[in-house]
Structure 1
Amino acid sequence: MTDYVDGYCERVAPGLWGEPLNSLTNLAFLVAAVLVWRLAAGDRTGRLLAALIGLVFATSTVFHLLATRWAAVGDSVGILVFALVYAVLLTRAFCRRRFAWLAAPAFLALTVVTALLGGGLYLSALIGLAAFAAVLAFERDAYWAHFAVAGAIFALSLSLRAVDRDVCDYVPAGTHFLWHLLNGVVLWLVSRVLVLKNRP
């Protein structure tokens, strides 16, 4: 678990500062966490989401600084925890509260299926955003646009993450740092929706 991980274009050798851009751009998550915390103004759901975005910031930063297998697992776990909790809170806010807890295992099952089919760990989140935007649009809920925009940004973010190693010859720093910047925006957008939805 302490083995060195060379998973991104920017990293060329072990070392604490081997991925300066990938490390620094994690600040986008911290900014998103602070903005959600301030917007929440005491709302427990908003404060919880802010704390979970803070967890994503911490785990991702540790991974890109240390580049070890255990840190990589922590990075994935931080993102997964946010996604699972968000799925429950989203279902609770827009659908039936009684069945909201089912959203977590349903999302986890979708993630496993898409991963086994070669879609990676994050395709399920894109599918979820697109599906929810479509459902809300069908129901003429004004919040559909928020999820549509978040989904479009996440699709671009996911594409940039996927091509990181392929562009090393042309872009030495790679494109993974853009994944961080854009995902900071995505987490802010989707969290903002729930904070606003919970207001009287």
Structure 2
Amino acid sequence: MTDYVDGYCERVAPGLWGEPLNSLSNLAFLVAAVLVWRLAAGDRVGRLLAGLIGLVFVASTVFHLLATRWAAVADSVSILAFVLVYAALFPRVFFGWRLWWLGPPVFLALTVVTALLGGGLYLSALIGLGLCAAILAFARDASWPHFAVAGAVFALSLSLGTLDRDVCDYVPAGTHFLWHLLNGVVLYLVSRAAVRP
């Protein structure tokens, strides 16, 4: 688990400061966490989501500083924790459904299907954002634009994140830092929508 991980253009050798842009761009998650925390003003859902975004900030920063396998796992787990918690909160926050616990297994099933079809592990999140926007628009919930914009931003983020290794010869810093910046926006938008007045 302490094996060295070199998965990004910016990192060319081991070392604590081997990915300065990838490390510093994680501040987008910290900013999002602080903004959601302040917006929540005591709302438990908002405070929970802000805490989870803060966890993403810590885990991703540690990973890009240390570049070890255990840090990579922590990074992935923090993202998964946010997504699964949100999948559970969505039906309860927006529709008051008591079957909120169905959200995480449904999302995991969608992730398995998209991964088996070659769509990777993040396509399910993009589909989920689109579905959330469509469901809320149909229900005439004013929060639907948050999810529509978040979906568009995440589509761009996913494209840039995927391109990172392919552009190393032309863009030595890569594009992964843009993945962080844009995903900070995505997490803020969906969290803001879940903080109910």
Fold-level similarity (TM above 0.5): yes
User: Which residue number corresponds to residue 67 of structure 1?
Assistant: 67
Q: Which amino acid aligns with 1:187?
A: L
Q: Residue 141 of structure 1: CA displacement? A: 2.5
Q: Residue 138 of structure 1: CA displacement? A: 2.4
Q: Deviations over 1:38-64 (max 9, x none)?
A: 000011111000000000001100110
Residue 106 (str. 1) matches residue 106 (str. 2): yes
SS of the aligned residue for 2:98 comes to helix
Q: Residue 178 of structure 1: CA displacement? A: 0.2
SS of the aligned residue for 2:99 comes to helix
Structure 1: 5+ residue runs without aligned partners? Answer: none
Identical residues among aligned pairs (%)? 81
Q: How many residues align?
A: 197
Give, in whole Å, the separation in 2 of the partners of 1:145 and 1:43.
21
Q: Which amino acid aligns with 2:42?
A: G
SS of the aligned residue for 1:2 comes to coil
Q: Which amino acid aligns with 1:8?
A: Y
Q: Which amino acid aligns with 1:45?
A: V
Greater Cα shift, 72-81 or 142-151:
142-151
Structure 2: 5+ residue runs without aligned partners? Answer: none
Give, in whole Å, the separation in 1 of the partners of 2:4 and 2:180.
21
User: Which residue number corresponds to residue 133 of structure 1?
Assistant: 133
Residue 115 (str. 1) matches residue 118 (str. 2): no
User: Which residue number corresponds to residue 32 of structure 2?
Assistant: 32
- Equivalence map 1:1-200=2 (5 Å): 1-195=1-195, 198-199=196-197
Q: Residue 144 of structure 1: CA displacement? A: 1.5
Give, in whole Å, the separation in 1 of the partners of 2:47 and 2:144.
23
Give, in whole Å, the separation in 1 of the partners of 2:116 and 2:99.
27
Give, in whole Å, the separation in 2 of the partners of 1:144 and 1:89.
15
Q: Which amino acid aligns with 1:143?
A: S
What is the alpha-carbon root mean square deviation over aligned residues?
Answer: 1.0
Q: Deviations over 1:95-144 (max 9, x none)?
A: 34211110011111211222222222211110000111112222332221
Q: Which amino acid aligns with 1:105?
A: P
Q: Which amino acid aligns with 2:132?
A: F
Give, in whole Å, the separation in 2 of the partners of 1:142 and 1:48.
22
Q: Which amino acid aligns with 2:150?
A: A
Q: TM-score, structure 1 length as denominator?
A: 0.95
Q: Which amino acid aligns with 1:14?
A: P
Q: Which amino acid aligns with 2:58?
A: A
Query: 4+ runs of 1 displaced by more than 4 Å?
Result: none
